[in-house]
Amino acid sequence: MSASVVDKRGVKYFWLYLALMSAVLVSAIGLVYVKHLNRQLFVDLQSLQKNRDALNVEWGQLRLEQSALATHGRVERIAHTKLDMVMPPAAAIVIVR
């Protein structure tokens, strides 16, 4: 073989090698970026789950407080003591149909 054929083949392989190495480098950088993004999103997910759990606890406490404040006995007691309301006599009650 002549030197020019070897040189042309060598240049061809050099450009192929360079293109493949560039593809590997771009792929590696993309992988690092995606891994970083994945970790960042996972941290955000954990933070949101912690926030959700805290809100669920607060919601449960508020529901318990609401049920305690809305009991019939408490409402009747406040109506009698603070608002001076009384149960009307049976003769004053009119049932409308």
Per-residue pLDDT reduced to its tens digit, 45-83: 999 999 999 999 999 999 999 999 888 888 888 888 988
Residue 11: its H or E element:
helix 3-69
Specify the residue for token string 């607060």.
58
C-beta neighbour count of 79 within 10 angstroms: 13
Give the pLDDT confidence score for residue 4 in this predicted structure.
Answer: 64
Domain residue spans of the chain: 3-85
Specify the residue for token string 């009698």.
80
